[in-house]
Chains A and B, each alone.
Chain A
């Protein structure tokens, strides 16, 4: 007998098969003596195990017994934590989540304003142009707040002579 057939027989005994399968197994038991013998053995074993199980009788009703367990669990469980005071970061996160795209847009606008109104003004994003033949050298002294722009050509050239202010 195959293992699969043995398992089917156990399932039949436990009432776990569908109606069709149960009918097939019953027919199989009727024509196969080995199967019938195994079925009887399994049935006796099952009965023996069931009869030998100790019976425990609760001193109180089922509801009362379980309610005691529930109370014990509730007593030993930690008290629900009080809500923590909202930290600034949590508040900011909540605000960002709620305001979403508007906040992003606002931050972008603010960054742009800071860039154009402060960075450009303070860091000195300068432009310059010179006469056609002259190059320049620029030096900025942050500590003294001084910018030097040197118009770079030899002093003896005609341009230099024309540029010299005296």
Chain B
């Protein structure tokens, strides 16, 4: 009877498995992608600024679900923002408004809103794909401003 020598077992499959595992982990480390909107909230049917257009239907639907008093939401600007894993990304929504997003630990994001060079708000929270963070405040003439940050990836 022949005895199998256990030390002769090939390490090939094990190495392949480890390589695949490492690949899967690396593939998991994706960039975070966002859409940032600057929105003017008002009851007026039309914005006095002809460059403003109504926000897209998905954002409008979600905004209408929030406890906001305005009937209409106009998109002032929209930008895409990509944040690498563990890094920060900044984008300007207007001459006076800037948003900085930092991937804190792979699960939370830190969102900083800077208005006219001064920090307005800093918030850390989870923001999974498809979810939306809306920062807002009052604007003159009983209107409002909103900064909408939607995680797209």
Q: How large is the interface on B (under 10, 10 to 19, 20 to 34, 35 or more residues)?
A: 35 or more
Cα distance A34–B128 when bound, in Å? 109
Cα distance A120–B124 when bound, in Å? 11
Task: Answer whether residue A111 sits at the interface, using C-beta atoms and an 8 A cutoff.
Answer: no
Query: Binary interface profile of A, 109-131, with partner B (CB < 8 Å = 1, else 0)?
Result: 00000000100111011111111
Stretch of A68-76, A87-95, A99-107, A137-145 with 4 or more beta carbons under 8 angstroms from chain B: A137-145
* B51-70 residues at the A interface, CB under 8 angstroms: 61-62, 65-68
Tell me if A147 and B96 are in contact (CB < 8 A): no
Task: Answer whether residue B86 sits at the interface, using C-beta atoms and an 8 A cutoff.
Answer: no
> Using a CB–CB distance below 8 Å, which chain B residues touch chain A?
38, 40, 61-62, 65-68, 76, 93-97, 107-108, 115-116, 118-126, 128, 130-143, 145, 147
15 further A-B contacts with Cβ under 8 Å, apart from A151-B135, A153-B137, are A124-B126, A126-B108, A126-B123, A144-B132, A145-B132, A147-B131, A148-B66, A153-B138, A154-B138, A160-B139, A164-B137, A164-B139, A166-B38, A166-B96, A166-B145
The interface centre, meaning the residue of A131, A134, A150 with most chain B CB atoms within 10 A of its CB, is A150
> Using a CB–CB distance below 8 Å, which chain A residues touch chain B?
117, 120-122, 124-131, 134, 136, 139, 141, 143-156, 160-166
Tell me if A162 and B116 are in contact (CB < 8 A): yes
Which partner residue on chain B sits nearest A141 by CB separation? B65
Tell me if B107 and A148 are in contact (CB < 8 A): no
Tell me if A131 and B116 are in contact (CB < 8 A): no
The interface centre, meaning the residue of A127, A143, A153, A154 with most chain B CB atoms within 10 A of its CB, is A127
Q: CB within 8 A of B140: which of A124, A126, A129, A155?
A: A155
Q: How far is the CB of A115 from chain B (nearest CB, A)?
A: 12
Which partner residue on chain A sits nearest B130 by CB separation? A145
